[in-house]
Every structure is written in C-alpha cells, then in structure tokens.
Amino acid sequence: MYNKQISSVVSPWGTMVDCRPVGGGCISDAAHVTVHSTSGGRVELFVKSNRAAFEENFHCEFDGLRRLATVNAIRTAEPLKIETIGDTIFMVMQWIETGRKSDFELFGQQLAGLHRKSSGDRIGLEYENFLGASPQVNSAADDWVGFVQENRIGTQLRMAMDRDLIDANCKRDIDAVIDSMPAILAGRENITSLLHGDLWSGNYLFDTSNQPVIIDPAIHYGCREAEFGMLLLFGSCPPLFYEAYNDQWRLPTRWRQRCKIYVLYHLLNHLNLFGTSYQGQCKQMVREILSDT
C-alpha cells in the first residue's frame, strides 16, 4: 500500500521502478525513489512521508528550502511537491547523492555568504514554523534581545515548566539569564540574516562534487551568531570551518560566549522533545552563561 501511494505521488516524473527506505530521520519516514521518465531517462527522488496532520511542517520545510536557495549562496535540496493521500502526506524532493569527501573550508565560506547576502534588519518570520517537532515562535519583536528573551528562551522555559521538566532552582536561574540578556548579548552586530536555524551534522551533507548541501531548515531572520548554536552543540565541524567563515565575514569578539545562549535554546528544545536526559546539560549551560555575565 505504501509503495503504491509513493508510485502515485511520483507519477508526474514517470514510472517508479525502485523504492528503498532511507534511515537517519527521527520524525518522518523517507525513501529513495527511482523513476523511469517518459523520455527514457532516470530520475532520482527523495520522498518523505508522515501522517496527514504533519502538513504544516512539510509546508514550512518546503518554503524554508526555497528561501535559502533563493539567496544563491549554498546548495539546498530542491523541494518539488507536497501531496496528501488518505491519512498520509508526502513531500517529494530532489535526491542528492552523498559524496565521500567533506569540504569544510567551502562550507564555512558559503555559510558566511548566505549570511552576508541575506543581511538586513528583519527579525523573526511572518509565520511560526518548527524546530524539529517543536513549534518555533517567530512573531515580531522590537529588537533581537527581546526576540530571544520571549520567543526563544522564554518559550522553551514555559514548555519545560508545563511538562514538569524544570525544577524551581533551574527556573530561577533561567529567569536570571532572561533578565540579563541585554548584557549577555552585548557586543553583537545590529544586523540580521536569513538563518537555516537548525544546522547540525544531520542537516548538512556534501555531494559527489564535495559541495556542501543544507537540508531540514527551521528558518528565521536573526543575528548570524545564532546559527552556531546547534553547530557548536552537535555540528562536528573542524576548526577549518570556523576559520573559513571568519575569513569571509569575521564574527565579532566574544561570539562564542554569546552563542551559549543559542546552545541553551537548543538544549531546552531537546529537553522538551526527549525528556530529562537533557536536564544536566541545560543546568550546566545556564551556570556557564551566568558565570560569564
């Protein structure tokens, strides 16, 4: 039944001749689909599927990939189609074959290009989207500090409190972080950029030409330092990556200290998604932030 549905979804490209499950995702099912086109060629597609209620998530991902591609700084997987069949929704994308080499120098250069070419003064996004499976609040704020206080750390704290994942002492310390945000984020540039928003080692790859490719975004406009929250937490990028980024567009002094706020945002999100195994890391990061203030 599942393969029959996928065959129907990819029919605009031709006749499906192969469909193989792809691992690595923890939210949606995925498949590598091969199609014989009417012109006699082969088309390789990547098809994600989930329950029909996941439609908004796929539309946010589709739009995020399109916006990132429009900047024309770093390759993205091209989204092609979203279709619902029965109680299942499918998103069809370009298949990208992963190469054997990783050009982190080029990755750093191109990420800096993405941030520089999209720079301006926008904050947030005109719609709410998702960070993994969590809702991500992007509503407008007067300034970046207020946006991070309310829409990032504040929102995640309230979610954790509602789920009894944060004790009173930790809440007190996170409230202190929120109150101290103007001092903690002092020294950043008063510039914002289009951010991927969830950039870690599972959301980038290198194609067969060693070109970096970014996938699964949680886009918004914000301080470019926020892009490095997940990269510093789970990015697995060597020093060459950061050196190449700075060669293209140098980050302001103390950017790594300020980035602890964005690491905390992602740790709190992991706490809300995956439970108490992240409590210790959240508390440690809060202590580090307060000790730096």
Q: Phi first, then psi: give them for residue 51, nearest 5 degrees.
A: -65, 155
Active-site position among 198, 207, 247, 292: 198
198 a catalytic residue = yes
User: Tokens 């301080």 appear where?
Assistant: 223
Do the Cβ atoms of 15 and 33 come closer than 8 Å?
no
What tokens appear for 51 in the block? 């329950």
Task: State how far the Cα of 161 lies from the Cα of 90, in Å rounded to an integer.
Answer: 34
The span from the CA of 212 to the CA of 105, in Å, is 10
Q: In 69-174, at which residue ranges do the beta strands (DSSP E only) sit?
A: 75-76, 79-85, 88-94, 129-131, 134-136
Which residues, other chains included, contact 95 with Cβ-Cβ below 8 Å and sequence gap of 6+?
A: 32, 33, 44, 45, 46
Q: Which residues are catalytic?
A: 198
